[in-house]
């Protein structure tokens, strides 16, 4: 598996809005910030109308003005009059007087007039909001929503107050309801949802990631990770003469190497898939100042990255990069891995610098162009990405990953450019990739994403299943596979346990919380939960 997975840019993507809702919380740097802005013009309050607010009181053509005939006015007319007076105070910034008038309207309004009564409560909540009395805002909005469950203004105002009271879970539920009822057409509600999801994700990830045990990925994942590098010295088998010509004993312990080298022992363990011992053996090599110090630093950093310990990996990568006497292939590989780490940490400038430096010191390194191409996709620089993938393929025609990534880049370019013939060409390209490289999980995963865009969900699921068969602990595949909301939640929870960094885990928690909130809103409002 490549060092970092591409996340397709969403601007103009045409994805179903329920699916776009699940992307709220995705890091802006990954190109999906436009999810908040697609196909949107300025919207009126609520959903074009003031949902539930009466423009004329019941039984009257217009609000009653003045005091004439006050004795003959109905309780509802008198309540409307008090509300209108409160509105004037509100516009003048006299919020305490407005609150008194709205309270009078609430007291006068017959209980059966729920729509009007909900409006009076919502108006009083607006005045309390101006006074920053958040508990009162929540209470009045709750009364309004109780009488008018789809009252968008009241739901959104309560969501904002709940955020102020640090009640993120209930805030998320309210703002999710607003997003759905508004058909995701209001930027303010989308941005609040994004903000709350990110905060929740960070809080949950900070606690879980801090207390979790480092988890070594499966042998399949590790092999797939190393297969994304073709110019990586540390992933190559031991060369002839590096180990004695003797068999392993009956218990399968590593054969002795020709010299006391922690690095060579670590390499032997790699061949045996005994990955848990690699970091400790590399540490022995580094501490002894052995001849393979640079190689040991890079191998140790790589396994730190694999178990999600970027903090441990970076000093080792830094040391290798600064070793001017080290093999240029080692330095270039360290730059690629540090660049990929920066990419995952949402630092695209630092990532770009590392990839460019790697290209300068090792111009014919196919890995540089492959991984830099992935960064270009993330930054929505599709033409440049295709150029990098072409360069990689020219240097390594058998690079399955580069072939798959190039197809994906061409597909995104055609899809966002609304070019059906080029879309079909890219889809045919995916078929060719999985035919030529049937063991390349990336080919299936990227093809599945394209099939999902094309609403070919059955075939997409087949591709995702093949990818999971090849890489059962690849979190990205579980995230994209999704399914209906309940299935998506199951997938997100599996992916959370496989996250390789706190940031990745926070993002996955955000996605899971978004799906959970939508499920709850769908249940509460009698909506049919969608499939993604």
Give the HSE-up count for residue 386: Cα atoms under 13 Å, Cβ half-sphere. 11
| Domain span holding position 162 | 75-210
The better pLDDT of the pair 496, 240 is held by 496
Structural tokens at position 192? 């609040």
Q: 311: buried, middle or exposed (CB in 10 Å: 19+, 13-18, 0-12)? A: exposed
pLDDT beyond 80 at 266: yes
Q: Are residues 85 and 193 in the same domain?
A: yes
Residue after which a domain boundary falls, among 194, 210, 226: 210
If pLDDT is split at 50, 70 and 90, which confidence band does 452 have?
confident
198 found inside a domain: yes
Backbone φ, ψ for residue 183 (5° rounding): 60, 35
Backbone φ, ψ for residue 195 (5° rounding): -60, -45
Coil, strand or helix at 528? coil
Q: Are residues 271 and 307 in the same domain?
A: yes
Average pLDDT of the residues in 370-381: 90
Q: Taking the alpha carbons of 147, 149, 155, 159 in that order, is the dihedral positive or negative? A: positive
DSSP character string of 37-52: TTT-----STTSS-TT
294 found inside a domain: yes
Q: Are residues 92 and 171 in the same domain?
A: yes
351 found inside a domain: yes
The better pLDDT of the pair 456, 2 is held by 456
Q: Are residues 192 and 135 in the same domain?
A: yes
464 found inside a domain: no
d(CA 513, CA 196): 10
Q: Are residues 228 and 358 in the same domain?
A: yes
Whichever domain contains 340, its CATH number is 1.25.40.10
Closest-CA residue to 149 (of 126, 128, 184, 122): 122
**Token match 């703002």: residue?**
175
Residue after which a domain boundary falls, among 362, 389, 419: 362
pLDDT beyond 50 at 44: no
Average pLDDT over all residues of the chain: 81
Q: Are residues 350 and 224 in the same domain?
A: yes
Cα distance between the two ends of the chain:
25
| DSSP H helical ranges for 109-167 | 114-130, 134-147, 152-164
**Token match 């203004």: residue?**
153
Q: Are residues 275 and 297 in the same domain?
A: yes
405 found inside a domain: no
Structure pTM?
Answer: 0.63
Q: Check residue 504 and give its pLDDT.
A: 82
Beta bridge partners of 243: 257
d(CA 208, CA 215): 13
Q: For residue 271, what are the contacts with CB-CB under 8 A and spacing of at least 6?
A: 237, 238
Q: Are residues 103 and 137 in the same domain?
A: yes
222: left (phi over 0), alpha (psi -120 to 50) or beta: alpha
Closest-CA residue to 154 (of 130, 177, 132): 177
Q: Are residues 222 and 155 in the same domain?
A: no
54 found inside a domain: no
Beta bridge partners of 479: none
Q: Are residues 92 and 195 in the same domain?
A: yes
Q: Are residues 269 and 162 in the same domain?
A: no
Q: 462: buried, middle or exposed (CB in 10 Å: 19+, 13-18, 0-12)? A: middle
**Token match 């309801």: residue?**
177
The domain tally of the chain equals 2
369 found inside a domain: no
Best-predicted range by mean pLDDT (11-20, 252-261, 396-405, 483-492): 396-405
**Using an 8 Å Cβ cutoff, are 333 and 234 in contact?**
yes
* DSSP secondary structure letter of residue 26: S
Structural tokens at position 15? 């994805």
Q: Are residues 331 and 223 in the same domain?
A: yes
149 found inside a domain: yes
Average pLDDT of the residues in 493-514: 84
Backbone φ, ψ for residue 164 (5° rounding): -65, -30
If pLDDT is split at 50, 70 and 90, which confidence band does 475 have?
low
């Amino acid at each position: 598996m490549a060092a970092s997975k591409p996340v397709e840019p969403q601007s103009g993507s045409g994805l179903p809005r329920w699916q776009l809702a699940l992307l709220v919380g995705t890091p802006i740097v990954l190109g999906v910030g436009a999810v908040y802005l697609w196909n949107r013009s300025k919207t009126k309050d609520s959903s074009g109308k003031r949902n539930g607010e009466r423009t004329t009181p019941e039984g009257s053509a217009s609000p009653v003005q003045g005091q004439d005939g006050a004795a003959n006015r109905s309780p509802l007319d008198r309540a409307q009059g008090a509300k209108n007076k409160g509105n004037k105070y509100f516009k003048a910034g006299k919020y305490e007087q407005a609150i008194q008038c709205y309270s009078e309207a609430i007291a006068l309004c017959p209980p059966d007039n729920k729509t009007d009564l909900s409006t009076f409560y919502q108006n009083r909540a607006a005045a309390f909001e101006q006074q920053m009395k958040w508990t009162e805002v929540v209470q009045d909005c709750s009364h309004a929503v109780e009488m008018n469950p789809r009252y968008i203004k009241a739901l959104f105002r309560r969501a904002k107050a709940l955020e102020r009271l640090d009640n993120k879970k209930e805030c998320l539920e309210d703002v999710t309801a607003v997003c759905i009822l508004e058909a995701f057409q209001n930027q303010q509600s989308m941005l609040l949802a994004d903000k709350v999801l990110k905060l929740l994700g960070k809080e949950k990830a900070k606690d879980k990631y801090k207390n979790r045990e480092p988890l070594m990925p499966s042998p399949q994942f590790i092999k797939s990770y190393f297969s994304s590098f073709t110019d990586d010295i540390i992933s190559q088998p031991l060369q002839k003469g590096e180990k004695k010509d003797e068999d392993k004993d009956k218990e399968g312990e590593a054969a002795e190497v020709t010299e006391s080298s922690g690095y060579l022992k670590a390499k032997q363990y790699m061949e045996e898939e005994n990955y848990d011992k690699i970091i400790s053996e590399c540490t022995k090599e580094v501490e002894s100042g052995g001849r393979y110090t640079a190689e040991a630093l890079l191998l140790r950093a790589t396994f730190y990255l694999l178990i999600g310990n970027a903090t441990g990996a970076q000093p080792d990568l830094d040391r290798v990069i600064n070793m001017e006497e080290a093999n240029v292939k080692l330095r270039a590989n360290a730059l690629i891995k540090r660049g990929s780490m920066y990419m995952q940490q949402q630092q695209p400038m630092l990532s770009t610098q590392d990839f460019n430096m790697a290209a300068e010191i090792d111009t014919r390194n196919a890995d540089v162009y492959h991984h830099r191409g992935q960064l270009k996709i993330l930054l929505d620089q599709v033409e440049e990405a295709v150029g990098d993938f072409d360069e990689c393929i020219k240097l390594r025609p058998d690079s399955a990953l580069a072939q798959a990534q190039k197809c994906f880049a061409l597909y995104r370019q055609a899809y966002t450019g609304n070019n059906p013939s080029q879309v079909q060409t890219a889809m045919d390209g995916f078929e060719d990739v999985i035919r030529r490289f049937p063991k390349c999980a990336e080919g299936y995963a990227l093809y599945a994403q394209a099939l999902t865009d094309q609403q070919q969900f059955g075939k997409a699921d087949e591709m995702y299943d093949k990818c999971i068969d090849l890489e059962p602990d690849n979190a990205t595949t579980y995230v994209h596979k999704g399914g209906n909301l309940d299935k998506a939640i199951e997938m997100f929870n599996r992916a959370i346990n496989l996250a390789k960094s706190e940031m990745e885990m926070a993002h996955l928690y955000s996605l899971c919380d978004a799906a959970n909130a939508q499920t709850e809103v769908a249940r509460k409002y009698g909506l049919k939960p969608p499939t993604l």
